[in-house]
Amino acid sequence: MQTADLHACADLVRRADPERFMAAMAAPVAARAVLFPVYAFNVEVARAPWVTQEPMIAEMRLQWWRDALEEIRKGGTVRRHEVVTPLAEVLDAEGAGLLDALVAARRWDIYRDPFEDEAHFRDYLDKTAGNLMLAAARALGDAEEAVIRDAGFAQGLANWLRAIPALEQAGRVPLPDGRPDAVRVLAAEGLARLRRARASRAGVSAAARPALLPLWQSGGILSRAAARPGRVAQGALEPAPFLSRLMLMVRAGSGRW
């Protein structure tokens, strides 16, 4: 892997996704070479639907990434790109397939249609946050998919609840049911899945554990949402920065994501 590409990926994540950047920097050096290309890919795909007002252009941007992932999946010549090139060095065909499903799910971000139902919303979180975490974990080492799916859902839900004020301001309908009681139940579900994932830590090898470090704030965010769902609409779920950084250091040092 070219050092310049890895540095470009890291810088992209640092600027656009500082929390995943912090989590990656808390990981062993060898793991960063895997995590930064995967997280840089996620930055590019996540922002593609938002950088234009034209749905067709957004669709074309997402299709470009699907085409790149198909090249990786086939194992032949892969286009030269500062993110695609290092990504091809860390993904296998299954990992490329996981990220392709992530890109397909991101098509929801282009339009203003609400989720069809609760199942659609959960599938969106599973295909975006879940597939991202699973692709990163698989690229690092052995990990049980069920554990990663639970962890990915919890992390994706926590971040989604934090984003709701911005999504609503952008004219989106971010939840199938945004009533306080429904939000409380949803946050409690996220906490339950996080507890279940942590109870099965043995299913994630030491090599794959850095992929779960982005979870470090999720428990606190979901707990605040479950206790006082009104905080979601108020944008009041953020943890205290100092305590947040301290918690990341503790979890990275202990390996108990």
Supply the CATH number for residue 208's domain. 1.10.600.10
pLDDT at residue number 94: 98
Q: What is the pLDDT of residue 156?
A: 98
For position 116, what pLDDT does the model report? 96
29-56 average pLDDT score: 96
Under a CB-based contact definition with an 8 Å cutoff, are residues 139 and 95 in contact? yes
DSSP structural state of residue 149: H
Summarised one tens digit per residue, pLDDT across range 59-99 is 999 999 999 999 999 998 999 999 999 999 999 999 999 99
79 and 142 assigned to the same domain: no
150, 254: one domain? yes
pLDDT in tens, 126-170: 999 999 999 999 999 999 999 999 999 999 999 999 999 999 999
Q: How many domains does the chain have?
A: 2
Same domain, 126 and 247: yes
- Residue 148 shares a structural domain with residue 252: yes
Same domain, 77 and 126: no
**What pLDDT is recorded for position 2?**
87
Residue where a domain stops, chosen among 62, 88, 111? 111
Are 250 and 135 in the same domain? yes
N-term to C-term CA, the chain: 28
pLDDT for position 214: 97
Same structural domain for residues 128 and 249? yes
Sign of CA pseudo-dihedral 19, 22, 23, 24:
positive
| Average pLDDT taken over every residue of the chain | 97
Query: Which of 43, 188, 85, 204 is closest to 134 using CA atoms?
Result: 204
Query: What would the mean pLDDT of 177-197 be, rounded to a whole number?
Result: 98
Cβ atoms < 10 Å from Cβ of 56: 9
| Residue 19 structural domain | 1-111
CA distance 204 to 137: 8
Residue 1 pLDDT > 80: no
- Does one domain contain both 181 and 59? no
In this prediction, residues 194-211 reach a mean pLDDT of 98
> Which of these three, 50, 84, 111, is where a domain ends?
111
Burial class for 50, CB neighbours closer than 10 Å (0-12, 13-18, 19+): exposed
| 119 shares a domain with 1 | no
pLDDT digits (tens, 9 = 90+) for 116-132: 999 999 999 999 999 99
